Structure 1
């Protein structure tokens, strides 16, 4: 089971592959080498993630489109982006420094709050990076079979080429961060993306499930994945350990605050833990629709959104999920609360702004 964003990326990828095939006769240029084209319709095109960069909003989506708004989503400008790969996630640990990731193993960085972007990594480099890292470990520790297996995985990535989607990105600060993606693909940087280290050996994910999302709750760093996979960073052991949950379906995201974590995903499932994942309580709803994104508002309410465009809310603590009536519904991939309190949503139809409550 792929994540919502990954399913959208796969569909867009198929469309782009067809378009590229038609364009072969006109001189094909790899999307990794083709800057995103300016488009007056960019804010109405599919967008897959949204983040705040201080007071600014930054959204990412198909064909390398990155947009930014300085008026709480009322108007948008298109950023300068060096690739046309579909982008799935964006994160700003500070107002000025941000990272975006997506198809073809793309990792982009902005040092000016999302106005311009440079490419730090792409899928043409990742296979060789993984192969060298684990081959060096295998040489240093020839009796450790794990290194040889992971080196072989690196060789497979080399042979497969650039198609290695990243699904999410998270940075603790302007230096330390992670990118995660399909088949347990996870890289770490400690220098703001100048260099990246493979971390496949640091996850309790022997079956290689997709890593759909990574997020911090303030007192824990979690990774949510398919088939019930939930991992939490163990600072002492320096690895992501399994957290047992009551559900075996895919999780699409994790959110929380100190002392509380929510994990959500397939068919409307949401679970809350207030004891570091030792126990979980379901937050029931009558919906059987995938929950794709969530955020914690300034008023202390969690807002959760579905693939069909529903909005749910719950207060911190034991309150149940409640559906919020809307005059319009469309698929929602990401949502944030703007500086003026408005809710800004992005999805398959681009940007939608709900007024301040």
Structure 2
């Protein structure tokens, strides 16, 4: 939710972004680990966290953090690693960054502030094939490790009544078609690659899947009208989606018939992580909801800071929160 709120602010005040087109390197600060962080991954034992003003920090122990050299000051919203030295991050200004040294240094693969669309998630199938998604149906794909990114318009999500109109516009007036399709789709908030399938969660109850690596998509019938901010596997055979006001749903990954998880607090869920055999739903107001065998237990940070993401590390969770990085252990 916090990621999407910030993304909306960028769109509303897009004129400010256009005033400064050239990317500026992130400022080096004294306590970089204490700012807003939106995502975190484990890259072969090195933690990489991304966040506000292009801040990226790395750690090998979860306690001490070093700030990386980053060529943009854009808010970074997502980071992914292949379990190798290769990592990618994305964020505002449609920025996509690449690192080949476990997040120590970064290079720009894409930077398009004039589009006024933030990238909200990035995932890779392998070292070549990756996807970056974001606001208003943003969808980019690469087949060369990010050396080039190709923009795609997912017309599978266009209302049938509008498809014929858009096709005619594309043929008769390509420029008008580009303008018409800029903001017609909902926000794509989170992408999951699991067991050869892609799963997409987004605005206005959007849940969709692809069985051919994104070439075509099937949108599920709406089972909740609000926005989803996370989608994650639970074991090998189930998928969980979660979002606004504590709404979370679980389904068999084959049938995709979702049933609601009874979350005890209406706190927006930003991310989902598997930890110690349970599924943890990470939420605003510092809530962590653990789901196991149909039962939900809740914990809460004493600070009440929103948790935007987390990663397992040495039998602990390292949390990315609105006020920095924190280590959390489940109470026994």
Number of positions where the alignment pairs a residue of Structure 1 with one of Structure 2: 306
Cα distance change of structure 1 residues 197 and 310 upon mapping to structure 2, 3 Å threshold: same
Q: Per the alignment, in what secondary structure is the counterpart of residue 224 of structure 2?
A: coil
1:111 Cα deviation from its structure 2 partner: 0.8
Question: Is 1:7 aligned to residue 5 of structure 2?
Answer: yes
Question: Is 1:168 aligned to residue 157 of structure 2?
Answer: no
Question: Is 1:95 aligned to residue 48 of structure 2?
Answer: no
1:326 Cα deviation from its structure 2 partner: 4.6
Q: Per the alignment, in what secondary structure is the counterpart of residue 239 of structure 1?
A: coil
User: Match of 2:272?
Assistant: 294
Output the CA distance in 2 between the equivalents of 1:204 and 1:6. 20
Q: Which runs of 5+ in 1 are unaligned?
A: 22-27, 125-160
Q: Which of the numbers 309, 322, 332 marks the counterpart of 1:348?
A: 322
Output the CA distance in 2 between the equivalents of 1:86 and 1:102. 6
Q: Which of the numbers 182, 185, 191 marks the counterpart of 1:208?
A: 185
Structure with the largest fraction of strand: 2
User: Match of 2:52?
Assistant: 62
Moved more, 204-213 or 287-296: 204-213
Q: Equivalent residues in 2 for 1:132-281 (5 A)?
A: 161-201=114-154, 203-206=156-159, 207-235=184-212, 238-256=215-233, 257-281=235-259
Q: Which of the numbers 322, 330, 347 marks the counterpart of 2:297?
A: 322
**Deviations 1:184-242, CA, capped at 9 Å, x for gaps:** 11010010001112221364255500001111233531110001001111219831221
1:32 Cα deviation from its structure 2 partner: 4.4
User: Match of 2:286?
Assistant: 309
Q: Which of the numbers 91, 94, 105 marks the counterpart of 1:105?
A: 94
1:293 Cα deviation from its structure 2 partner: 0.9
Output the CA distance in 1 between the equivalents of 2:124 and 2:214. 20
- CA RMSD, Structure 1 to Structure 2 (Å): 2.5
> Could you state the TM-score of these two structures normalised by the residue count of structure 2?
0.85
**Deviations 1:257-282, CA, capped at 9 Å, x for gaps:** 42110000011011000143531111
User: Match of 1:80?
Assistant: 69
Output the CA distance in 2 between the equivalents of 1:205 and 1:277. 23
Cα distance change of structure 1 residues 14 and 82 upon mapping to structure 2, 3 Å threshold: farther
Q: Which runs of 5+ in 2 are unaligned?
A: 160-183
Cα distance change of structure 1 residues 320 and 121 upon mapping to structure 2, 3 Å threshold: same
Q: Which of the numbers 30, 34, 39 marks the counterpart of 1:49?
A: 39
Output the CA distance in 1 between the equivalents of 2:107 and 2:137. 25
Output the CA distance in 1 between the equivalents of 2:318 and 2:10. 23
Output the CA distance in 1 between the equivalents of 2:30 and 2:279. 33
Q: Per the alignment, in what secondary structure is the counterpart of residue 254 of structure 1?
A: strand
> Could you state the TM-score of these two structures normalised by the residue count of structure 1?
0.79
